[in-house]
């Protein structure tokens, strides 16, 4: 079995993941240090050290998961779903708040777990298991009731935290898996229209005024340049000042002088644009897109539908977050607070991404169904 795993293991995808993760650690360090940059200053910076530890720990978890046959997780569909939902519910009663949202559970003094991040992996596994069951009739709209309810419950809890960005990721994951599973375009269109109507109603009657402002300010951030529009304006200034080649690593003025808010989390792509310029940002995006295409390649070679759906769900999750995160830094998307996977600072986000990529690597490693 060990030889079969090594034979099918996607070492090229593993290399891409390691390179992007290492780049993310470097950019977190670059966005967190001001003044003269030395090796000692870098390794005395707690933000950089934490991200480095998360990268090493996440890498170990990813490799471990890649060696375990992913099909084993199909048996634990119900426990995974219940555990994820329990954590999301616990946030309501025991969660800590920041920035007007209650999304985290404090674990000791050093780490805050964000259950909505883990819920993304949980929903990929459990929805994939649900759709992989034989006998599901997707030609009828009633055949989609169970899968949609399966996703709607945790998605609603996340939306009420409030965490609009993560709840929208659930939509992307669900749509991608349902499409690959054979759902008709008509049914997808009906769900899309229903979702659009629901979004409009939620915007009009559920969201608070400050949440509405955050969502629409991207159209003209100069309406409120010193408050809600400040992040977008500074992000565009940072990216624009990078021009073609960038100001150089650790040399971004908007970053180093702290004009750019959330520079190591939501707006870390702005740091990439300022310090590495159009050239560096373009190369980064090309490599990232290539990683997503490689994941879809693994999906096509998967030995069963469960593995195929997992890969498609992970690809949809990464694609959506990449599109929204980069889009909000250049003011073509609303600011929803979604991190850039493998790049943004944050333990929960990084570990969640590594777990999902570990599952993809497992699909690749266990794609051979031959006995010898």
Per-residue pLDDT tens digits for 176-216: 999 999 888 888 888 888 888 888 888 788 777 877 887 88
Q: How far apart are CA 97 and CA 79, in angstroms?
A: 27
- pTM summary value: 0.93
Q: Considering only CA atoms, which of 7, 23, 3 is closest in space to residue 15?
A: 23
pLDDT > 70 in the chain, percent: 93
Q: What is the pLDDT of residues 222-248, one digit of tens each?
A: 888 888 888 899 999 999 999 999 999
Going from the C-alpha of 99 to that of each of 90, 168, 211, 222, 337, the distances in angstroms are 19, 19, 11, 22, 10
Per-residue tokens: 78: 């119900």
195/167 Cα distance (integer angstroms)? 12
Q: 280, 282, 275, 270: which is closest to 236 by C-alpha?
A: 270
Cα–Cα dist 64/70, whole Å: 11
- As given in the structure block, the two tokens for residue 138 are 């997707």
Rounded mean pLDDT, 114-125: 93
The length of the chain is 372
DSSP letter at 247 equals S
Give pLDDT tens digits for 335-358: 888 899 999 998 889 999 999 999
pLDDT in tens, 88-111: 988 887 766 555 556 777 776 667
* Residues 120-143: tens digit of each pLDDT: 999 999 999 999 886 566 777 777
Measured CA to CA, the distance from residue 264 to residue 130 in angstroms comes to 37
d(CA 22, CA 30): 12
- Pick the closest to residue 363 from 307, 317, 315 (CA basis): 307
d(CA 11, CA 17): 10
Q: Which two tokens stand for residue 28?
A: 């977190």
């Amino acid at each position: 079995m060990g030889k079969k795993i090594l034979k099918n293991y996607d070492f090229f995808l593993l290399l891409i993941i390691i390179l992007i993760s290492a780049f993310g650690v470097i950019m977190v360090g670059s966005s967190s240090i001001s003044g003269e940059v030395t090796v000692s200053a870098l390794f005395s910076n707690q933000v950089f050290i934490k991200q480095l530890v998360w990268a090493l720990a996440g890498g170990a978890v990813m490799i471990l998961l890649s060696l375990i046959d992913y099909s084993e997780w199909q048996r634990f569909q119900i426990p995974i779903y219940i555990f994820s939902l329990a954590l999301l519910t616990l946030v309501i009663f025991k969660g800590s708040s920041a920035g007007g949202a209650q999304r985290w559970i404090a674990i000791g003094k050093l780490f805050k777990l964000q259950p909505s991040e883990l819920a993304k992996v949980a929903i990929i596994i459990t929805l994939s298991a649900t759709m992989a069951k034989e006998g599901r009739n997707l030609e009828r709209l009633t055949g989609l009731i169970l899968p949609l309810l399966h996703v709607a419950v945790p998605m609603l809890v996340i939306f009420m935290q409030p965490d609009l960005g993560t709840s929208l990721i659930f939509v992307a994951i669900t749509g991608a898996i349902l499409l690959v599973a054979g759902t008709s375009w008509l049914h997808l269109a009906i769900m899309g229209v229903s979702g659009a109507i629901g979004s409009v109603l939620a915007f009009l009657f559920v969201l608070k005024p400050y949440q509405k402002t955050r969502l629409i300010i991207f159209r003209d951030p100069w309406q409120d340049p010193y408050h809600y529009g400040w992040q977008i304006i500074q992000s565009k200034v940072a990216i624009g000042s990078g021009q073609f080649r960038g100001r150089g690593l650790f040399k971004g003025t908007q970053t180093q002088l702290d004009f750019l808010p959330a520079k190591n989390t939501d707006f870390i792509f702005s740091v990439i644009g300022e310090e590495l310029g159009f050239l560096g940002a373009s190369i980064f995006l090309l490599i990232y897109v290539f990683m997503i295409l490689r994941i879809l390649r693994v999906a096509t070679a998967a030995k069963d539908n469960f593995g195929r759906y997992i890969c498609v769900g992970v690809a949809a999750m990464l694609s959506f977050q990449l599109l929204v995160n980069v889009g909000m830094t250049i003011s073509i998307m609303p600011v929803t607070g979604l991190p850039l996977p493998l790049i943004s600072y944050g333990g929960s986000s990084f570990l969640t991404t590594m777990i999902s990529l570990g599952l993809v690597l497992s699909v690749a490693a266990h794609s051979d169904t031959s006995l010898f």
